[in-house]
Amino acid sequence: MASSVSPVQNLARVLLGAALAFAGTGHLTFARQDFQAQVPDSLPLNQDFVVLASGVVEIGMGAALIGLPRQRVTVGWIMAAFFVAVFPGNISQYLTHADAFGLDTDRKRLIRLFFQPVLVAWALWSTGAWAARKNRD
Task: Please give the full DSSP string across 118-130, using - where no structure is assigned.
Answer: HHHHHHHHHTTHH
- Report how many domains make up the chain: 1
**Average pLDDT score, the chain:** 93
13 domain-assigned: yes
**Predicted pLDDT of residue 38:** 87
CB atoms within 10 A of CB 128: 21
Instruction: Quote the CA–CA distance of 92 and 77 in Å, as a whole number.
Output: 24
List alpha helices for 29-96, DSSP H. Answer: 32-36, 47-67, 72-95
Contact 55, 102 (CB under 8 A): no
> Which of these, 115, 93, 94, 96, lies nearest to 34 by C-alpha position?
93
136 domain-assigned: no
Boundaries of domain holding 84:
7-129
68 domain-assigned: yes
**Predicted pLDDT of residue 2:** 55
* Position 1 pLDDT exceeds 60: no
135 domain-assigned: no
| % of the chain at pLDDT higher than 90 | 85
The dihedral region occupied by 97, where left means phi > 0, alpha psi between -120 and 50, and beta the remainder, is left
CB atoms within 10 A of CB 125: 19
63 domain-assigned: yes
118 domain-assigned: yes
Contact 65, 15 (CB under 8 A): no
**Predicted pLDDT of residue 103:** 92
Summarize the confidence of residues 104-112 as an average pLDDT: 95
